[in-house]
Amino acid sequence: MHTEFEPPKALRDTIACFWYNDTDFGKEKTLFEVIPDGFSEIIFHFGEELQILQNGGLQSLPSPFLVGLLPHPVHFYTKNRLQILAIRCFPWTVFDLLTLDSNKKGVNTFEHPMAELQVQLKNFISRNEISEAINLLKEYFLQLEISTDSLLYKAGVAMRKSRGTVPVSEIADAAHATVRTLERKFKQSSGHTVKDVSGLIRFEQARNTLWNLPGFSLAKLAVELGYSDQAHLSREFKRYSGTTPGAFARKAKKEQLPNREFVAFIQL
């Protein structure tokens, strides 16, 4: 079960959506893979322990946890019923939203007032009051003093509107900034370069297209998304997903996995 909730108008420059996922993984500990996309997310989880495969071993994750943009797939383990409440954020806003340093790498544990919501959210989840839990999250973020940098907002809109296909110079023009200023601010706000984020947004479009239309022509997809050729698309797709676009499409067609399992975000 996966449900998405639109953010209030006052939060739409910062938060793409809120979502809830309820999955039964069975009695045995199960590995599942999360593929990158162009968002950062804050994850609250309820039920069995959730672990990440990190440096050859399993590490338990607190609730909530934050993961930045993923450069490659990440593997998680859990079992039985796992419920997720998440906030999907734009990568250039999430760290400022939470007043956190964007330059941390790996898995990091930190104190944050947001963690105090866990008990209230758990109570709502236990009573299956999902809308009430989502409303609590909305109210929490509405009361924060959010100051969206207009330069980053304009750059972000340009990237998502173009599906990550335009060069950095055009994004800078859309944001009315120099490339140097844009790159500096983007690195400070997200921990990544404009090119990094654009590449993930473009991959996200390719991944979603092949999920929804597994038989879509790869040559045509490469042209539509501005890759130099089909080979370029395949290289970039494998870089982020660990598999080729053809293999991904065949797997999607065969298994028909949910379009969006929850995305965990560790800054790597």
CB 201, CB 159: distance < 8 Å: yes
Q: Could you tell me the pLDDT band of residue 104, with boundaries at 50, 70 and 90?
A: low
Average pLDDT over residues 137-162: 89
Residues in the chain, overall count: 268
pLDDT at 258 over 60: no
Beta bridge partners of 23: 82
**17 pLDDT tier (thresholds 50, 70, 90):** very high
Q: Can you list the domains of the chain with their CATH numbers? A: 2-142 (2.60.120), 150-255 (1.10.10.60)
- Cα(first)–Cα(last) distance of the chain, in Å? 29
The two counts, helices (H) then strands (E), for the chain are 10, 9
- Smallest CA-to-CA distance from 192 within 18, 73, 39 is with 39
At 219 the three-state DSSP class reads helix
**Residues 166-193, mean pLDDT to the nearest whole number:** 92
Name the residue with tokens 């998440």.
Answer: 86
For residue 137, name the pLDDT band (cuts at 50, 70, 90).
very high
Band (140; pLDDT cuts 50, 70, 90): very high
> pLDDT band at residue 252, thresholds of 50, 70 and 90?
confident
The mean predicted confidence, pLDDT, of the chain is 88
